[in-house]
């Protein structure tokens, strides 16, 4: 059985590590390089690093290389990717995987091209979701624009086009620390065969366990690791206690 991954997620705005609440009110919480070094020392499974400014200011390879040279774990880079050439820029900067969001929604063929050029294992489609009139809908442009796509249908299309995994974020749970949207996780994980990374809402180790029980293959968290004493290792211990395999050195 594949081991359940526990993945810290770092977001950067104005070259500072920030944490949002429902994708808004970005709070400066320090140095992103210091955070990367901490997670290196804690031997995490993977790291997700998203540059929020890239969609408006462009991809900054020098910033990304600064991050990846500190990483001794696999890293997914994202932000501002709209072309295969953008993806190449992130891979050249040291990414193991690249997260596609708005670019994929606006040009779905980008997923096909990315998978063809670099392999599905390099393609993570980031899906940001809000419930609207009883339906989960996918948002783009940092959660500010409704794409009009229903989440399960979009996840299936992303998989069919070659995505290797889905990074699934419940916008309304982001930064609230009251638990993942389990119904959303169940809906998407039952719609696809590729791994689903649950994001948005973790406040305790038990929340992570509940996400995996609901079908997530991995859990991503930010506030949990930045605002509490919980470490990725403690989350893994809790997962193992409930019968889910996790990598512990």
Q: What's the pLDDT tens digit per position in 14-60?
A: 999 999 999 998 999 999 999 999 999 987 999 999 999 998 999 99
Count of domains forming the chain? 1
Structure tokens of 34?
Answer: 């210091």
In angstroms, rounded to a whole number, what is the distance separating the alpha carbons of residues 174 and 169? 8
Phi-psi domain of 22 (left: phi exceeds 0; alpha: psi -120 through 50; beta: other): left
Q: What value does the mean pLDDT take over residues 133-140?
A: 96
In angstroms, rounded to a whole number, what is the distance separating the alpha carbons of residues 72 and 47? 10
| pLDDT on residue 43 | 79
* CB 174 within 8 Å of CB 145: no
In angstroms, rounded to a whole number, what is the distance separating the alpha carbons of residues 7 and 90? 19
Q: Is 131 helix (H, G, I), strand (E, B) or coil?
A: strand
Q: Is residue 249 part of a domain?
A: no
Name the DSSP class of 72.
S
CATH of the domain at 130: 3.20.20.70
Q: Is residue 222 part of a domain?
A: yes
| 202-216 residue pLDDT tens | 999 999 999 999 999
Q: Is residue 199 part of a domain?
A: yes
- Per-residue confidence band for 64, with pLDDT thresholds at 50, 70 and 90: very high
| pLDDT on residue 248 | 86
Give me the residues paired with residue 140 across strands: 145
The overall average pLDDT reported for the chain is 96
Q: Is the pLDDT higher at 249 or at 198?
A: 198
Whether 1 has a pLDDT exceeding 70, the answer reads: no
Q: Is residue 246 part of a domain?
A: no
Q: Is residue 31 part of a domain?
A: yes
Whether 221 has a pLDDT exceeding 80, the answer reads: yes
Distances (CA, A) of 185 to 14, 20, 37, 199: 31, 21, 30, 9
Cβ neighbors of 77 (< 8 A, separation 6 or more) are: 49, 50, 51, 64, 67, 68, 90, 93, 94, 95, 97, 98, 99
Q: Is residue 125 part of a domain?
A: yes
Q: Is residue 212 part of a domain?
A: yes
Distances (CA, A) of 28 to 92, 235, 238: 28, 25, 30
| pLDDT on residue 114 | 98
* CB 178 within 8 Å of CB 206: no
Whether 131 has a pLDDT exceeding 70, the answer reads: yes
| pLDDT on residue 2 | 85
* Number of C-beta neighbours around residue 135 at 10 A: 10
Domain carrying residue 201: 5-241
């Amino acid at each position: 059985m594949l081991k359940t991954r526990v993945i810290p997620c770092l977001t950067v705005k104005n070259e500072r590590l920030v944490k949002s609440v429902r994708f808004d009110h970005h709070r400066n919480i320090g140095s992103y390089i210091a955070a990367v070094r901490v997670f290196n020392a804690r031997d995490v499974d993977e790291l997700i690093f998203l540059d929020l400014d890239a969609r408006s200011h462009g991809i900054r390879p020098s910033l990304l290389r600064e991050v990846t040279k500190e990483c001794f774990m696999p890293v997914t880079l994202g932000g501002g990717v709209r072309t295969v050439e953008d993806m190449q820029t992130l891979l050249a900067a040291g990414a193991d995987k690249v997260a596609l969001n708005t670019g994929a929604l606006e040009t779905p063929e980008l997923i096909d091209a990315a998978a063809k050029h670099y392999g599905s294992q390099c393609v993570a489609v980031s899906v940001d979701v809000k419930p609207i009139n009883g339906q989960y809908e996918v948002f783009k442009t940092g959660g500010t624009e409704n794409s009009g796509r229903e989440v399960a249908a979009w996840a299936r299309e992303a998989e069919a086009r070659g995505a290797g995994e889905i990074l699934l974020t419940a916008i309304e749970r982001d930064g609230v620390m009251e638990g993942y949207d389990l119904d959303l996780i169940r809906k998407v994980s039952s719609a696809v065969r590729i791994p689903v990374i649950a994001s948005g809402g973790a406040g305790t180790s038990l929340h992570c366990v509940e996400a995996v029980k609901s079908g997530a293959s991995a859990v991503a968290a930010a506030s949990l690791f930045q605002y509490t004493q919980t470490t990725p290792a403690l989350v893994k211990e809790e997962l193992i206690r409930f019968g889910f395999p996790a990598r512990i050195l």
